[in-house]
Amino acid sequence: MNREPALDLTEAADGGVYFVDASDFDALAAAAAEGNLYVCRADLAGCEDKGELLRRLAAALKLPAGFGQNWDALVDSLRDLGWLHGAGHALLLDHVNDLRQAATKDFDILLGILHEAASFAIGQHRPFFAFLSLPEHPIALPTHR
């Protein structure tokens, strides 16, 4: 059997957006914490539009009070997560399918923003991972050392 190599959450170059099963969140959070990444969880159950999505992300990411509640503000915030201390960041977004089914366009924009944030972090040599509970494309989980 040919298995994909496990992600190394300390490697900035491995950063990106990954679809996982929600049952993997605890293992991912443990691996991220072990790698000194700040772990942020957001539950998107029942999230059906951009406004609710941005409110939930702002709360989960502890965004500053002046957060603009728009896509540009989210991009800017994800590029600079300096108030969340750690060697990098791991976002675990649960029940993302609720948003995908209710507001496909908002879901697609969120994916683009997360990909852009990961690319930006790679350029800064900073690990940034977004794990979304969509099991369509399982990945090899990080291994504990």
Domain residue ranges of the chain, discontinuous segments joined by + = 12-133
Residue 39 has pLDDT above 70, yes or no: yes
DSSP state of 5: P
Question: What local confidence, expressed as pLDDT, does residue 4 receive?
Answer: 46
The pairing of beta strand 88-94 with beta strand 16-20: unpaired
Rounded CA gap, 60 and 41, in Å? 6
Residue 142 has pLDDT above 70, yes or no: no
Rounded CA gap, 131 and 122, in Å? 16
Question: What local confidence, expressed as pLDDT, does residue 138 receive?
Answer: 53
Question: What local confidence, expressed as pLDDT, does residue 145 receive?
Answer: 41
Listed in sequence order, the residues at least 6 apart from 36 whose beta carbon sits closer than 8 Å to its beta carbon are 10, 86, 87, 88
Tell me the per-residue pLDDT of 88-130, one tens digit each, with 9 for 90 and over. Answer: 999 999 999 999 999 999 999 999 999 999 999 999 999 999 9
The CATH number corresponding to 12-133 among 3.30.370.10, 3.20.20.70, 1.10.3720.10, 3.30.450.20 equals 3.30.370.10
Q: What is the pTM assigned to this prediction?
A: 0.87
